[in-house]
Amino acid sequence: MTHVASRSAARQKRHHSIRLHLAGTGARPRLAVFRSLNHIYAQVIDDAAGVTLAAASTAEKELRGSKSTKTEEAAAVGRLVAERAKSAGVERVVFDRA
């Protein structure tokens, strides 16, 4: 059993191994979610073109400073990124669980 030096190194290793089998296309972009200690970030990415189509996070002005739980904040970020993705013309995504 190997030990990874830090939490971020373990996350990067996991991310690279998952990305070997997963890519977002124009028809079905990738939904990448990153959860830090204090915030949650979500973005819809078209890997073929190399652009981010929609993004949302709890660090944004409209979601910052809310006194709700992390679960409720994550749900709000999910609703916001879904709304922005729909307006960008995205109907289906591939979930990047890294």
| pLDDT per residue as tens digits for the range 53-93 | 999 999 999 888 888 899 999 999 999 999 999 999 999 99
Instruction: Report whether 29 contacts 94 (CB < 8 A).
Output: yes
pLDDT, residue 4, reads 67
Q: pTM for the whole thing?
A: 0.78
Amino acid at 49: A
pLDDT, residue 1, reads 60
- Write b or e for each residue in 50-72: b if 16 or more Cβ atoms lie within 10 A of its Cβ, otherwise e: eeebbbbbbeeeebeeeeeeeee
Instruction: Report whether 42 contacts 53 (CB < 8 A).
Output: no
CA–CA gap between residue 94 and residue 25 (Å, rounded): 9
CA–CA gap between residue 30 and residue 40 (Å, rounded): 16
Structure tokens, 9: 């190194």
